[in-house]
Amino acid sequence: MRQSDQEPIRFTKEFTRQEAIPEAGIRRAIEVMQSGRLHRYNTAAGETAEVALLEAEYAAYVGARYCVGISSCGSALYIALKSVGVKPGDRVLCNAFTLAPVPGAIENAGAVPVFVEIDADYLTDLADLQRKAEASKAQFLLLSHMRGHIVDMERVTAICQRLGITLIEDCAHTVGARWGDTFTGRFGKVGCYSCQSYKHMNAGEGGLLVTDDEDVIAKAILYSGSYMLYERHLSRPDLAVFEQHKKRIPNFSLRMSNLVAAMLRPQLADLDNQCQRWNRRHDLLAEALSDAPHIRIPHRPAKEGYVGSSFQFSLVGVDLAAVERFLKICSERGVEIKWFGSREPVGFTSSWESWQYIEGVQPLPNTRKILDFMCDFRIPLTFSLEDCRAIAAVIRQVAAEVFD
């Protein structure tokens, strides 16, 4: 019997259902609420704020000298750009496959994105990066490890060094992930991480910014909205460093609250374990789909210590109409696939052509072709390994029906 003659397999769980906040995080959050001290600078004598503790713990986790908590990763990217000296009108290189808050942060800083193509494995095309860097003379690169895919960071840093480019890493989706032995966010001058619900530590909203540079962290702390209370940070340089910046840096009021930090601290303690749980699910899906006709799983470099909290694959040897049919039937059977091929932005998903506040849509033919055939979905940890097997079975069955 042909696969397409079989009963349709259906999947019924929600792709948007995250796990509960760990008990310890809930307990601590309730204590913070009972104390009434939710603002990070509302500390009793001798008390250290939850946010200050989280910053010190996160800096230690990734091996950075300094960390500051921010209201979101998008805001952290904005503060990072300002703190490394991006000025209105500056060009900022950026891989075109990224999330809307990334060009948003560049726009917020008054700068202009110069988009770089991606390759068939969804990684930044480093030849195009060099071309665009040389043509635009941009002095900044905001590199997004989009959907957790990490490009060769030795090659990126070599290009940046050679061309005098300051690197900022958008690690929204790579909390806990490494290239070689080094955490993402530690190759550039600044690394920014997200604590939004769909990333690797969930506080609803939240961002973390790390750097080894004492001027950059002093500026970032001041931009975040420290008033003249920066002394209360554990993760900070000597107070003298703030002296030269404190009257020159505006307060953007983008702080993290103690409630957020209270939820995050136990999640950080358990992060490596959670990353392994994601990878078991991701690797099962990759294995189950590896020999499926018309499906290509991206190649992942040996040095990439990824965290597979989402899954991407490309459809090959099919046309766009067939892609749309495939997506529609998958969705009818409960497998909600996101598609960057859509010409209209939908939900969280949009592509560079729809960011029309940027002057002139930059032509990126390779990226367009790759995104047209790329499928994408989250792997929430509320899915069991059995659930992942079921998702792969739906995808294989629909592909056989539509493409054969």
Ligand X SMILES: *Cc1c(COP(=O)(O)O)cnc(C)c1O
Binding site for ligand X (CB under 6 A): 72-74, 98-99, 101-102, 144, 146, 170, 172-173, 194, 196, 199, 207
Please count the other Cβ atoms lying within 10 Å of the Cβ belonging to residue 381. Answer: 14
Asked whether the beta carbons of 256 and 226 are under 8 A apart, the reply is no
**Minimum gap (Å) between residue 189 Cβ and ligand X:** 17
Q: Which is nearer to ligand X, 205 or 353 (CB)?
A: 205
**Spatial contact of 192 and 185, defined as CB atoms under 8 Å apart:** yes
Please give the full DSSP string across 289-338, using - where no structure is assigned: HTT-TTEEPPP--TTEE---SEEEEEE-S--HHHHHHHHHHHHHTT---B
- Distance separating alpha carbons of residues 370 and 353, to the nearest angstrom: 14
Min CB(58)–ligand X separation in Å: 14
**Least gap, CB of 318 to ligand X (angstroms):** 27
Mark 195-205 as b/e (b = at least 16 C-beta within 10 Å).
Answer: bbebbbbbbeb
CB 173 to ligand X: min, Å: 4
Rounded to 10 degrees, the C-alpha dihedral 230/235/238/240 comes to -30
Cβ(293)–Cβ(403) below 8 Å: yes
Of 73 and 118, nearer to ligand X (C-beta) is 73
Distances (CA, A) of 26 to 29, 43, 259, 264: 5, 20, 10, 10
- CB nearer to ligand X: pick between 91 and 200: 200
What does the block give as tokens for 137?
């003379």
Q: Which of residues 227 and 348 has its CB atom nearest to ligand X in the complex? A: 348
Min dist. Cβ of residue 80 to ligand X (A): 12
Nearer to ligand X, 146 or 221 (CB): 146
> In angstroms, what is the minimal distance from the CB of 137 to ligand X?
25
Of 209 and 286, CB closest to ligand X: 209
- How far apart are the C-alpha atoms of 334 and 281, rounded to whole Å? 18
